[in-house]
Structure 1
Amino acid sequence: MFDPIRRILPDKVRRSYVLKFGLAFLFLGTLVGSIGYLTTTEMTAAVERNVMEEHATVAAEEGRNFRTWHEQNKRLTGVLTATDVVRNRDPEAIQRHLRQQLVFFPDATHSIDYVNTTNNRILAGTREVDTLQTADFPDSSRVNTNLDPAEPLVTEPYLINNKTLVISYVRPVSGQPERAIILTMDLGAYGQNFRTHGRSELTLVVGSDNRIIMSDEFDPRYGVEYGQIFERLPDQHGILQTARSIDPGEDPSGAMEVGDRPSELLSDGYGFNPDGYVVGYYYFPDQDWVLLFYQSTVDSYGFVRAVQQYGTLVTVVSVLLIGVVGAILGRNTAVAVDRLTRKAGRIESGDFDVDFETNRIDNIGQLYRAFDEMQCTIREHLRASALIDNASDLITQVDENGDITFQSPSSHAILGYDPEQMDGTPLLSYVHPDDKSTVDSALSDAENPRRIEFRMQDADGDWRVLEGTCEKVTDNPFVTGVVVTCHDITDRIERQAELEETKRELERSNEALQQFAYIASHDLQEPLRMVSSYLDLLSSEYGDRLDEEANEYIEFAVDGAERMRNMIDGLLTYSRVKTRAGDFEPIDPNEVIDDVCLDLKLLIENEDATITTDSFPTIRADENQLRQVFQNLIKNAIEHAGEDPPEIHIGFTELPDAYRFSVEDNGVGIPENQQEKIFEIFEQASGEESGTGIGLAVCKRIVERHGGDIWVESSVGKQTTFYFTISKQN
């Protein structure tokens, strides 16, 4: 069908690829331009109809985003008030918690406060203020013990330091109406999320009293004056009235076109001063707020009207340009194909560093990139081959019959065989007879690779222990069958055997040492009783004949013998932690602690001590030993309480793999440099005169037997908390 066209074209045109390409583009451009001109008018009308819908959609989008942000802030207050840290009422812990959590909150977060609702004092928070009044909080009397825990109190927007415009969300702490969390959000910072494109667009939010409370032009660094925040917006054309007249259940968004200039507040305060503009609105009925999205008429309709006005001129110029560009592209394509041919010849000669970089996105560009990918693939195959040649692991490829089709050069270093010696031989012929079934099973189930351990015989007849996997390759046309990748672990196995033997020797030595400690401590008791008895006899028979200094020496000796007896008893207890331990059985820690408090009843009453506990679940442990741990820790807490009556709390936290207990007191505390050594046998904190220094060592030994750890955290003069864990694996 193109023969008549070819006959009427001059020979020069028919022989020139560039001219043919240009004429084809010229014809195509004329056709496309004509169609485009005819459809411009209809397109313009359709676009103008969509402008109003687009502005309403933009306002609705921004409005829904703000509503989502508003609801999210409400939920965040609920999350904060329900946390264990907040509910435990410890201001210092809450202070640390809130400041740690602040980094995870939205960028617009101004502050988080923990407040006493009975006197409006700020007990903890992320800023340094004492009361709600000094924080510029509006109508602080609304923050009281009558707050609704189900729905937070939301304030009207207000200024802090006459500079930062914020809104606050107040919710009481769960089960504690006298405490509340106040989350304060920076409206100016959130306003930066509104869309803005210079002075031709503007987004505002006005409050129930028509004051501007948010703007995309507001910059918190410059304060309220920049952007005229909190000024009252005149409703010249009834836009706000129209938005607020929307009935409940209807679409809260809409748009209006205004033919005159905006108010002085918008023109002077925000630099928005077009001859006319389109405004989209979105109404928030719960707060009686309205979001307004302004755009100049020129930007709203200017493009389509310019297309309509200059459509003919643009079409003619476009047709001419398409023809010229067509000729240029034709020449460019011919040159590019010739260059690609020369580059392909370099690859054929073995040069794999040819530069195929191109910015073209047409078929020629795709062809360049295809050649570049092919060159990269060849390079990767060469690199992979080099890595295999130098790999320390043994890489073997076997076919469906189990015969070796490829063996990496590392076989010489590991097994003493050259790869060529192993090619074509069965893999199982090198495997230890006891391990052949394991390897054969792994080869048969190579679609599901798993790690196996087996032995292969080297060229010297010795057995090497290997560890690796068998994997069937299905997505590589160059590799078929099963690939076995393994490494030599013979030395590691030998070291493990040596370590196991050393461990057994240590266990035997430790058992002997424990037996020795028990026997030595037991045998020391009898001569110590004799010393004490004779000292008592000496005091009773000859005490009246001795002077005061001699009697004092006898008292010192008796006291030393008593301390020695206590130390021996403690040493016996320490040695029996494992030798006379009970079974791990389900026990109730609540009952154990009740028994301990009963045993210490006289001490607790004499010292006017108060002991509180969390509720504990049933755990598996040695009941007698757990009782011993609690008795040591509670007794220590009472005896080191200082001048104030002891206040002791026994807490509990369930961890993923353990149970964590804590014993907290209000005592004199332990210096930081002594908090580790107190768990060593015969070690005590400085200033400690009573005790043997064995109790905490016994606690540590018991806890370690239960698969746990024990540690202490203390502030000198304030409090001490001992923590220990019991493993769930018991």
Structure 2
Amino acid sequence: MSDDGLLGLVRTATPNVVRRSFALKFFIALLCIGLLVGSVGALGTQQMTAEFEQQVLDEHATTAKQEADSLANWNRQNSRFAETMARSQPVRAGNVSAMQRRFDREMRERNFDADDQPNLHYVDTGTGVVAASTKSNYRGESVDILNETVQSALDTGSATVITDAYTDTPTLESPQPRIAYVTPVGPSTDAVVVYTVPLQMRTGTLSGTGTSTSMVVGGDNQVLFHELNNDLLRTPYGEDNGAPAAARESGPADPGALRAGPAHGALNGTASMAGQEYVVGYAQVLDTDWVVLVHTDIETAYGTVRSVANRGLVATALGIAAIGAIGAVLGRNTANALSRLTKKTEAMQRGDLDVEIRSGRVDTVGRLHDGFAAMRDSLQDRIDEAERERKRAEVSREEVIETNAYLQETAATYSEVMERAAAGDLTQRMATDGEHDAMDAIAGDFNEMITELEKTTGQLKRFAEQVEESGTVVGSSAASVKDAAEQVAESVQTISDDAHVQRENLQRATESVDAAVAALDDGDVAAARDELDSVAGTLTEVADATEHTMAEAENVAGAAEEQAAELNEVSRRADELVRYVRPLHDVLDRFETESEHQFVFTGGPSLGEGERDD
């Protein structure tokens, strides 16, 4: 499963009330950490306790093994001593007096205490008599004076025999628990040397852990040696802990230890062990069925580790408490800081950008506050910039509205001027105020155009008047200038056609001006200017037509001058000229002009006989 899938599963399984609360999530995380620390501490303490307990068991097994090795050496030393005595010259020679002196000297040299002094006996098994002995009351006595355990070991064969523990005959003055080392003197005789050793010789010499109680039990599980108490010798061990059996089963090379109790039997007679559980280490003594047992009560054996374990548990508990306290403080501070930051961000979301976002922390939460503060400042700057842009847009909009209003007003004024000009008032001019270059350019172009048109129209009016006057004059003498009149008539017809063309051109100019006004009404200044350019072109055509008309008029004047002699014919043609010129005059008279333009008629030959106008 991917991380996203696992996280998604966790989110799905987590209640919403937990997901929405940082403090609750932090508390749960802190609880998990505490449980983890507690578990690790408990497991660590348990493992440490188990390791220490095993170490205690190993130490007891090692101590028991050391004591078993020490007893094995002690047995070997005693066996060698007995064998040395059996091989000594007096014993081999069978010289009783000499061997008695040797036995006494050996005991004196070993400097034993009187209470626990070992004894040497020379027993003639053939006669059944104790021939020599360090105990004077044994000399010359029957072997029956010896303990039954010793008597059963007299037939040793060729090897030294270590007897079981026994107690001297009660008839003796100081009966003591002992063991005996029985060694044959040699194959040539039936005698043996018996070396008896009090068990209490080892009492007080058994080693331990300093707080332990050590003892040695024999094959019958009776106490052979005790670390402190001689009164427990030859008493039943009485413990059903399996240690002696385990030691004999594993053998001398494999010591061990176990936990047992409560103590009873011989162990219960030791004050430090009475009724308590204990640890016992065991080891079998080499070449015997003896078992060394080293005991320590549980409180002493495990007291250190239990103290350490308890301190570990206390430390774990204190660690959990510290984690809880620190986590609670940090979590509370962090949760409060995040809660305050959340409220401030909600205030920002509602539009309150004046909220103060500040934290004295330098950690991630502090940087988060700084980030939100920077975001708030940036947002405020952007809002201020947007407000400034909005205000500038409003100002621009107002300027556009004012400009549109100005353009509409100016266009309306220009339209009125154009309408009056189109109606024939060529004295109209468009005013310029320097407010708008394009409108001023339109006005300048229009004024220039209308000025040219006014001039042209004035010339045409003047020409019409002069033609009318000339027609009257010619009419009075037209009888004699028939050909000139006919020529004039043709020229006048041409002029009439040109005037008609000029009228159409002027009509187109008027329509173009209207289109320009409409474009100005729509705010399309470029289109209006194009229309006015079209008007200028039309007026240029009118001017060209006018020049052509003037040329034709000059031709008329020349013809009239050349045919001056033919006045009768001219009179008739003049009547017709007046009839054709008057409508042109009426049309041109619709245009009002302030400028007067002289039109000069040049003389020419009299009108000849020409064609009459149909």
Between the two structures, name the one with larger relative contact order (CA 8 Å, sep ≥ 6). Answer: 2
TM range (shorter): 0.3 to 0.5
- Whichever structure has more strand as a proportion of its residues is 1
TM-score, normalisation: structure 2: 0.39
- Whichever structure has more helix as a proportion of its residues is 2
TM-score, normalisation: structure 1: 0.33
